[in-house]
Copies of this chain bind each other. A is one copy, B any other.
């Protein structure tokens, strides 16, 4: 994959006649002069690059809280391929036995799995009283159980205070409640949009300091576009600005901006915050609004959680899936869904995701003609059962 990344500039040049100036730092976007100020990373003088149209795709920066010891030996990020190589090498070199993962979100639990697989004892520290903050507490508790069963020590509701060194290397992770011995610490605290350049240039930022864009990915500034993790989106359910840093969203936004810059007319309708991951044999997925978000959006909602089989109940190993649906109380309109279950569960999230795009109600969902045969589901798919149970509350 490193090779692919290195080859990309060549391919862009040869196939699309796009010049890629890798190895340069951009230090200023000058909107008045319509140019950017750049400088080679390995030294050399500042130059300027003029533009007619500018696309800002500056991505994110990992969140690194300014606590004592954060830049010390043994504290690793989890944001790049290089981070992964460095961590892997350090496990061997230090003959590491204990790792503390700071952050219990997607990256945190993926790192926990990787470290368990490498034979380490793993703890997760999170400020929230639950892992997976994008799930409601009841669904997150199922993920917490899976982590605990796999041997991960959860330290929830604990705030990171710093890292202790001994003999020039990491010795412990300190929270506001305890001191956890650690050979390695991994930061999985998420990212923030990398929008300093845009802000300095006077381009308006919006929610969580992501760049404000319209549904064509255009910023407030003429001929300036922003796409990907540095740009905001609109939430398809609440209609409000939101910020989702995911490659799937970034790619769609890039396509929309490209069509528009090329003279076409494409709209990016928005996002649902659909996400999917797994920890060992437990699959996890969510889409749309969680309860907290429904409340924040001022929606009167009901929610229902069911547990069912992935395959026909009489089938060998029928699997288990827990589905939570959230619907608007007055109309029955689906607002969101969350799934935790055994292998094969998580992709069911696409069903409520498409339903949310289309504004379907839970009543509509009862009659969805989904794929049925015994190796793949019961005659009533668990999604149907969840919709039926939710409808009873409308």
CA distance A285 to B369 in the complex (A): 12
Contacts of A390 in B (CB 8 A): none
**A276 in the interface, Cβ–Cβ < 8 Å?**
yes
Could you give, for residues 249-262 of chain A, a 1 whenever the CB lies within 8 Å of some chain B CB and a 0 otherwise? 11110011000000
Q: List A residues at the B interface (Cβ < 8 Å).
A: 1, 4, 106, 236, 246-252, 255-256, 268-278, 285, 287, 314, 344, 346-351, 353-355, 357-360, 364, 366-373, 375-376, 379-381
Contacts of A106 in B (CB 8 A): 373
CA distance A276 to B285 in the complex (A): 23
CA distance A270 to B236 in the complex (A): 27
User: If A248-B379, A248-B380 touch, does A364 touch B357 (CB 8 Å cutoff)?
Assistant: yes
CA distance A250 to B372 in the complex (A): 12
Interchain CB contact (< 8 A) of A354 among B285, B346, B354: B354
Contacts of A353 in B (CB 8 A): 368-371
**In this complex, what residue of B is CB-closest to A371?**
B276
A249 and B369: CB pair below 8 A?
Answer: yes
**In this complex, what residue of B is CB-closest to A267?**
B367
**In this complex, what residue of B is CB-closest to A273?**
B369
B370 and A252: CB pair below 8 A?
Answer: no
Contacts of A359 in B (CB 8 A): 358
CA distance A323 to B311 in the complex (A): 23
Of the candidates A269, A350, A357, A369, the one having the most CB atoms from chain B within 10 angstroms of its own CB is A369
Q: Taking the nearest CB of chain B, how far is it from the CB of A114, in angstroms? A: 12
**In this complex, what residue of B is CB-closest to A256?**
B367
**In this complex, what residue of B is CB-closest to A372?**
B248
A369 and B276: CB pair below 8 A?
Answer: no
Interchain CB contact (< 8 A) of A246 among B273, B275, B368, B372: B372
User: If A247-B379, A373-B276 touch, does A268 touch B367 (CB 8 Å cutoff)?
Assistant: yes
CA distance A370 to B271 in the complex (A): 9
B252 and A367: CB pair below 8 A?
Answer: yes
**In this complex, what residue of B is CB-closest to A374?**
B247
Contacts of A370 in B (CB 8 A): 248, 274, 350, 353-354
Of the candidates A1, A364, A368, the one having the most CB atoms from chain B within 10 angstroms of its own CB is A368
User: If A1-B314, A248-B380, A379-B248 touch, does A371 touch B358 (CB 8 Å cutoff)?
Assistant: no
A375 and B278: CB pair below 8 A?
Answer: yes
CA distance A274 to B379 in the complex (A): 12
Q: Taking the nearest CB of chain B, how far is it from the CB of A253, in angstroms? A: 10
A-B contact pairs, 28 of them (CB 8 A): A236-B369, A248-B370, A248-B372, A248-B380, A252-B366, A252-B367, A255-B366, A268-B367, A269-B367, A270-B369, A275-B372, A275-B373, A276-B371, A277-B373, A278-B375, A278-B376, A287-B369, A344-B344, A346-B376, A347-B371, A347-B376, A350-B350, A351-B354, A353-B370, A354-B355, A354-B368, A357-B364, A357-B369
Q: Taking the nearest CB of chain B, how far is it from the CB of A57, in angstroms? A: 14
Interchain CB contact (< 8 A) of A371 among B4, B268, B349: B349
Contacts of A4 in B (CB 8 A): 314
Told that A246-B372, A247-B372, A355-B358 touch, could you supply 8 new A-B pairs with CB distance under 8 A? Answer: A248-B369, A251-B379, A255-B366, A269-B364, A270-B369, A350-B350, A354-B354, A357-B360
Contacts of A357 in B (CB 8 A): 358, 360, 364, 368-369
Interchain CB contact (< 8 A) of A276 among B255, B270, B273, B372: B372
Q: Taking the nearest CB of chain B, how far is it from the CB of A312, in angstroms? A: 9
